[in-house]
Amino acid sequence: MTEAVFDPAAQPAAQPTPIPLRELLPWAAFGALLLLALYFVGAEEGATSLVPGMVVHEFVHDGRHLLGFPCH
């Protein structure tokens, strides 16, 4: 009797399954909103400011300190 030998090369290669855009879009939107929020808390001040004045700075001031961003 011949004993069966496992040959990995004889097995078909697994094909990656594409992720549908409908499932990826909410995660991409969440990541974009997270980056936007991080920008406003961490960098919306001075030369990189998108909104003139100190309105955004004062609105996120405590969050800035909580997350360890220097602001003054």
Give a yes or no: residue 45 inside a domain. Answer: yes
Give a yes or no: residue 43 inside a domain. Answer: yes
Domain that holds residue 38: 27-72
Contacts of 71 (CB under 8 A, 6+ apart): 45, 57, 61, 64, 65
Give a yes or no: residue 13 inside a domain. Answer: no
Give a yes or no: residue 51 inside a domain. Answer: yes
Task: Indicate whether this model's pTM tops 0.75.
Answer: no
The DSSP-derived string for 5-71 is ---GGGSPPPPPPPPPHHHHHHHHHHHHHHHHHHHHHHT-SGGG-SSSSSHHHHHTHHHHHHHT---
Give a yes or no: residue 11 inside a domain. Answer: no
Give a yes or no: residue 61 inside a domain. Answer: yes
| Mean pLDDT in residue range 53-67 | 82
pLDDT over threshold 60, residue 70: yes
Give a yes or no: residue 33 inside a domain. Answer: yes
Q: How many distinct structural domains can be found in the chain?
A: 1
Question: For the segment 26-50, what is each residue's pLDDT rounded down to a tens digit?
Answer: 999 999 999 998 888 887 777 777 8
